[in-house]
């Protein structure tokens, strides 16, 4: 999906990873962009120990389906890690032997560094989803860079190699954002709108109806319905697709600047 398409989507829809509307978002509000580093209370001893043995943000060893020839699909989970739901989701992914991609917020990593570390340790990919879910199209370049760098640094402090992928909050991007952020932009092409109140069976049906080879599904590991539905939609998807990380689906060939997908 092009950035332009994502931007159009963003203007059409409202919630979590969609472009903002004047209405307040339905899920837990995110902190506005902060210039100073909040929540530095994270134990430095713990972080120092973790950082001494970093885990790659992109797994080095994965079962290697050839996604150029086989039907692959990537599940992505945004806005975490969440202290209650992310561990449950990780247990489900492990049980089903599936790797996914988590676009995390730096502010959440600061609060739950051990969860970021666990995501990477268990072979999932981690992407940068900004520090506090601010709209990058409303930031100056210096603010964008500080936000991104702050998040990268927090991941590194948590013991995770800083990611190469970036998913702008709300999918909101423009030329200035793409020029400024030196990471590979990653959008989605399947949005089952899990931010809406849906029953797990309805969410599964939405995912299955839209699933396709090469699909990148945007979901949120801060949504209880999503985690509740995960065993069912993962079981169903595995019958038709290899479930892989974003970088396995589309290998990163450009790590700086203008890669858009
Ligand atoms: Zn988001």
Centre of ligand 1 from the C-alpha of residue 155, in Å: 17
pLDDT value for 18: 54
Taking the C-alpha atoms of residue 41 and residue 247, their distance in angstroms, rounded to an integer, is 33
- Ligand 1 centroid, distance to 69 Cα (angstroms): 31
Single out the catalytic residue among 78, 147, 194, 221: 78
Alpha-carbon distances of 56 from 25, 28, 164, rounded to whole Å: 33, 29, 11
Identify the sign of the CA torsion 66, 67, 70, 71.
positive
Residue 254 Cα to ligand 1 middle (Å) = 23
What residues have a C-beta under 5 A from ligand 1, the ion?
Answer: 17, 78-79, 169
Band the pLDDT of 159: cuts 50, 70, 90.
very high
Least confident of 8-12, 86-90, 125-129, 241-245: 8-12
Q: Is residue 23 part of a domain?
A: no
Handedness of CA 5, 11, 14, 15 (dihedral sign): positive
pLDDT digits (tens, 9 = 90+) for 73-94: 999 999 999 999 999 999 999 9
The yes-or-no answer on residue 78 being catalytic is: yes
Instruction: Judge whether 259 lies within some domain.
Output: no
- The reply to whether 219 falls in a domain is yes
Q: Would residue 220 show up in a list of annotated catalytic residues for this protein?
A: yes
1 contact partners, CB below 8 Å, separation of at least 6: 187, 188, 189, 261
pLDDT higher than 50, residue 37: no
Q: Does residue 38 fall inside a structural domain?
A: no
Pairwise CA distance, residues 47 & 67, whole Å: 36
Structural domain includes residue 58: no
For residue 35, tell me if it sits in a domain. Answer: no
The model's pTM is 0.78
Answer whether residue 14 is part of any domain.
yes
- Could you report the per-residue pLDDT of 178-202, keeping only the tens digit for each? 999 999 999 999 999 999 877 999 9
Whole-number Å distance, alpha carbon 39 to ligand 1 midpoint, is 20
| Neighbour tally for 13: CB within 10 Å | 17
Number of domains composing the chain: 1
CATH number at residue 107: 3.20.20.370
Parent domain of 97: 3-18+72-249
CA 71 to centroid of ligand 1, rounded, Å: 26
**Any domain includes 209:** yes
Residues 40-80: tens digit of each pLDDT:
444 444 555 556 667 776 655 555 789 989 999 999 999 99
């Amino acid at each position: 999906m092009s950035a332009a398409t994502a931007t159009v989507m963003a203007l059409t829809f409202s919630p979590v990873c969609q472009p903002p509307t004047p209405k307040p978002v339905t899920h837990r509000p995110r902190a506005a962009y902060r210039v100073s580093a909040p929540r530095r209370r994270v134990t430095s001893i713990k972080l120092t120990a973790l950082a001494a043995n970093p885990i790659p943000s992109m797994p080095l060893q994965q079962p290697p389906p050839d996604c150029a020839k086989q039907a692959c699909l990537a599940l992505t989970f945004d806005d975490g890690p969440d202290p209650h739901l992310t561990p449950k989701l990780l247990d489900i992914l492990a049980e089903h032997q599936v790797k996914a991609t988590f676009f995390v917020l730096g502010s959440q990593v600061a609060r739950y560094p051990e969860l970021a570390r666990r995501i990477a340790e268990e072979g999932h990919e981690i992407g940068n989803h900004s520090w506090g879910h601010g709209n990058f199209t409303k930031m100056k370049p210096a603010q964008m860079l500080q936000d991104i760098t702050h998040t990268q640094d927090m991941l590194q402090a948590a013991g995770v190699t800083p990611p190469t992928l970036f998913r702008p909050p709300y999918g909101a991007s423009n030329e200035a954002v793409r020029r400024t952020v030196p990471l590979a932009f990653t959008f989605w092409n399947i949005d089952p709108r899990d931010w809406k109140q849906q029953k797990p069976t309805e969410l599964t049906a939405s995912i299955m109806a839209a699933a396709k080879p090469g699909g990148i599904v945007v979901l949120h590991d801060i949504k209880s319905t999503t985690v509740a539905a995960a065993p069912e939609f993962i079981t169903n998807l595995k019958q038709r697709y290899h479930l892989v990380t974003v970088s396995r689906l589309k290998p990163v060939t450009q790590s700086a600047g203008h890669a858009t997908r």
